[in-house]
Structure 1
Amino acid sequence: MATLTEHIIKLTDHRDRELLELTLSKALIDLLRIDRVVIARVLSEEGVKRWLEVASLDVRGGGKVVDPLRVDFDSLRELADEKDRLRCLQTRSLVEYAWAGEEGPRISFIPLFADSASDDEGVIEVHSGSALSQGQVQVIEDIVHVFRNMYRLLAYSDRDALTGLLNRKSLDDTFYSAVLEEMDHGLEGETAVLEASVLPVAERRHRVPPNYWLGTVDVDHFGVINDKSGHLIAEEVLLLVARIMNNTFRTYDRIYRLGGEQFAVLMHCPDEALVLAAFERFRANMEKFNFPQVGRATACAGFTRVTADDSPSTTLERAERAVDYAQRNGRNQVHSYDDLVRKGLFGDAVKVGAVDIF
């Protein structure tokens, strides 16, 4: 059995936040005499908050890891449906539910994050045959403390300094890991996450599923805004654009600032029309927003389906071609690269899986 020190080393070896919950779950199962660990995070969409069980492991080796990008939000349980989890979240303290009497099995709820001001919210469920001892509680507190430190450190390195959105490095990392819905049947859950972390880049490029979409957003006439209003006002515009994006897209869509006035969104969606509708909502929200000292500002967006042969650069290039088309044809528009190809406006072929559609 690995020691506490060995599990701390494993946690601090990570450079990928997506694997931290899995590593934390393994550490708790290995170090404590418990039956099961569940880590539940809070997701929100249009003001509704729900629970997503991002990782679960049991002592017999069974378990799963869920990619938030691929979740059906409406199928998740609302916060009030899990009263003990919610009480733990609200009090930021240990909550116990002894479901078969005070001396019997129970679930202990521990807050995943300590800072109530943080946007990240979650709860650890520890399923055990009896009450946790003081020593077990101390081990949990120690290992969770290390998890929180690593999470904050990795979150800081993944973020754009101005807007707080994810940065380009994070996009590259996500493209080769969290985006991977395994195309081989039967490879799922924990195995999928673990394989995504160790596959060489050349092999990962051929395992991207067809239902991921990458879009880019460019603020129209941003150079004019900068020249007319000054650098500080232009930065304020970028901050407000980031806020509009956060308020428009789903919390489990990945939103990035690529640099300058360029942003990107990575999402999992079954239908091109739904992706177009999401970007149109953003365009409309941007258009009606009153930017202080600037007034009206608009944006162009373009998006494309991620294919199995893609890399981040090739996908971004296609999305940017759709943005360029919008800018040349009046601005304040959203276009699908794939749709422009189908209409014959670009000379490319749209690829879906291994099939070329001309």
Structure 2
Amino acid sequence: MPTITEHIIRLTDHRDRDLLELTLSKALIDLLPIQRVVIARVVSEEGVKRWLEIATLDHKGGGKVVDPLRVDFHGLPLIDDNRERFNCLMSRDRVDFAWAGEDGPRINYLPLFADSRMEEEGVIEIHSAFALGDAQMGAIADVLHVFRNMYNLLAYSDRDALTGLLNRKSLDDTFYSAVLEELDEGAQAQSRAQDATVAPGQERRHRVPPNYWLGTVNVDNFGILSDKGGHLIAEEVLLLVARIMNNTFRTYDRIYRFGGEQFAVLMHCPDEALVLAAFERFRANMEKFNFPQVGRVTASAGFTRITADDSPSTALERTERAVDYAQHNGYNKVFSHGDLVRKGLFGDAPKIGAVDIF
């Protein structure tokens, strides 16, 4: 059986935060006489919070890991549907739920994170057949402490220093480790299905490649705003734009700041109309917000569907062309690159854009 030292090495070997929850679950299952580990994170959309079980693992080897980008939000349980989880989250303390008598099976609920950062709320459930002793609870606390330290370290390297949003490095990592790999697998599955021989009357089924979308957002006339208001006012505007984005998009959408006035969003969505609606909500929220000492500030956005042949740069080139079109046609608009191409408003040739550093 692996030792606690070996599991700590595995936790600290990671360079991908998305794998930490599963590694934490495996460590606890291996080290302790427990039956099941569930890690549940809080996700929200338009102010509604729900539970998403990111990782589940049991002592017999069964389990699952969920991609937050691809969840059905409305099918998830509401945050107060699970009273013990909710109490643990609110108190930031352990909750022991003995559901069949004091000496029988129970679930220990522990806060996944020690602080109260709203973007990182979660609970870890430890299912056991009997009450765990102080030494066993101490071992859980030690492993969880290492997990938190490693998560915060990786989060720091993935975040923009000013706004706390994800940075360009994080976008590149997600592209190459998850999105393109999944798109390529979907395309290959579809190709195999199309090549297969189908008997008369037999229905052909194949996997539809996932629908990933990337959009960029530029604050309109940011240079003028910065020149007039100064550096501190400009920074405050960027912080407020980040807050509006966090309040508008789903918590499992990936929101980035690349530098200067440029932001981005990576999301999974079934069709173009829903993506357009999400960016339009953000544009409208920006337009109606009263920025202190500045007043009205608007933003222009452009988005594109990601293909298996894309790199982060090629997808961003298309979104930047759509943003440029919006800003050359009156600002405060959202355009789909694919829609602009279909309408013949410009061709499909790439344009290399620059990213400012603020």
TM-score relative to the length of structure 2? 0.88
Q: Mark the runs of 5 or more structure 2 residues left unpaired by the alignment.
A: 187-207, 350-358
Q: Which residue of 2 aligns with 1:286?
A: 286
User: 1:165 touches 1:255 (CA, 8 Å); kept in 2?
Assistant: yes
2:349 matched to 1:344? no
1:326-337 map, 5 Å: 326-337=326-337
2:238 matched to 1:273? no
Q: Which residue of 2 aligns with 1:89?
A: 89
Cα distance in structure 2, aligned partners of 1:13 and 1:86: 32
Q: Which residue of 2 aligns with 1:200?
A: none
How far did residue 61 of structure 1 move? 1.1
User: 1:42 touches 1:51 (CA, 8 Å); kept in 2?
Assistant: yes
Q: Which residue of 1 aligns with 2:53?
A: 53
1:96-245 map, 5 Å: 96-117=96-117, 119-179=119-179, 180-181=181-182, 184=185, 209-245=209-245
Cα distance in structure 2, aligned partners of 1:322 and 1:175: 20
Q: Which residue of 1 aligns with 2:7?
A: 7
2:306 matched to 1:303? no
User: 2:183 touches 2:308 (CA, 8 Å); kept in 1?
Assistant: no
Cα distance in structure 2, aligned partners of 1:101 and 1:37: 21
Cα distance in structure 1, aligned partners of 2:274 and 2:267: 11
- State the Cα deviation string for residues 299-329 of structure 1 (Å, max 9, x = none): 1100000111111111111111111111111
User: 1:67 touches 1:178 (CA, 8 Å); kept in 2?
Assistant: no
**Matched residue type, 1:18:** D
How far did residue 111 of structure 1 move? 1.4
User: 2:226 touches 2:234 (CA, 8 Å); kept in 1?
Assistant: yes
Cα distance in structure 1, aligned partners of 2:294 and 2:183: 46
User: 2:162 touches 2:239 (CA, 8 Å); kept in 1?
Assistant: yes
User: 1:98 touches 1:106 (CA, 8 Å); kept in 2?
Assistant: yes
Q: 1:182 to 1:126 in 2, by over 3 A?
A: farther
Cα distance in structure 2, aligned partners of 1:307 and 1:215: 14
Q: Which residue of 1 aligns with 2:78?
A: 78
**Matched residue type, 1:53:** E
Q: 1:101 to 1:56 in 2, by over 3 A?
A: same
Task: Classify the secondary structure of the residue corresponding to 1:176.
Answer: helix
**Matched residue type, 2:109:** F
User: 2:326 touches 2:333 (CA, 8 Å); kept in 1?
Assistant: yes
**Matched residue type, 1:132:** L
User: 2:300 touches 2:333 (CA, 8 Å); kept in 1?
Assistant: yes
Task: Classify the secondary structure of the residue corresponding to 1:9.
Answer: helix
Cα distance in structure 2, aligned partners of 1:269 and 1:21: 25
- State the Cα deviation string for residues 230-274 of structure 1 (Å, max 9, x = none): 122111111111111111111111110011110000011001101
Cα distance in structure 2, aligned partners of 1:318 and 1:126: 46
**Matched residue type, 1:2:** P
TM-score relative to the length of structure 1? 0.88
How far did residue 184 of structure 1 move? 4.6
Task: Classify the secondary structure of the residue corresponding to 1:265.
Answer: strand
**Matched residue type, 2:148:** R
Cα distance in structure 2, aligned partners of 1:115 and 1:68: 22
Which has the higher mean CA deviation after the structures are superposed, 37-46 or 108-117? 108-117
Task: Classify the secondary structure of the residue corresponding to 2:314.
Answer: helix
Identity in percent: 78
How far did residue 91 of structure 1 move? 2.0
User: 1:209 touches 1:308 (CA, 8 Å); kept in 2?
Assistant: no
Cα distance in structure 1, aligned partners of 2:143 and 2:108: 16
2:19 matched to 1:19? yes
How far did residue 209 of structure 1 move? 4.4
User: 1:11 touches 1:147 (CA, 8 Å); kept in 2?
Assistant: yes
Task: Classify the secondary structure of the residue corresponding to 2:113.
Answer: coil
Task: Classify the secondary structure of the residue corresponding to 1:322.
Answer: helix
Q: Mark the runs of 5 or more structure 1 residues left unpaired by the alignment.
A: 186-207, 350-358
Q: 1:168 to 1:184 in 2, by over 3 A?
A: closer
Cα distance in structure 1, aligned partners of 2:218 and 2:123: 37
How far did residue 117 of structure 1 move? 4.7
Cα distance in structure 1, aligned partners of 2:96 and 2:289: 46
How far did residue 346 of structure 1 move? 2.3
- State the Cα deviation string for residues 191-249 of structure 1 (Å, max 9, x = none): xxxxxxxxxxxxxxxxx944110000011111111122212211111111111111111
How far did residue 178 of structure 1 move? 4.1
User: 2:222 touches 2:261 (CA, 8 Å); kept in 1?
Assistant: yes
User: 1:41 touches 1:52 (CA, 8 Å); kept in 2?
Assistant: yes
Cα distance in structure 2, aligned partners of 1:267 and 1:75: 18
Number of residue pairs aligned between Structure 1 and Structure 2: 327
User: 2:106 touches 2:131 (CA, 8 Å); kept in 1?
Assistant: yes
Cα distance in structure 2, aligned partners of 1:271 and 1:238: 29
Q: 1:117 to 1:333 in 2, by over 3 A?
A: closer
How far did residue 33 of structure 1 move? 1.5
How far did residue 103 of structure 1 move? 2.3
RMSD across aligned C-alpha pairs, in angstroms?
1.7
Cα distance in structure 2, aligned partners of 1:83 and 1:302: 41
How far did residue 142 of structure 1 move? 0.2
Which has the higher mean CA deviation after the structures are superposed, 143-152 or 339-348? 339-348
Task: Classify the secondary structure of the residue corresponding to 2:87.
Answer: helix
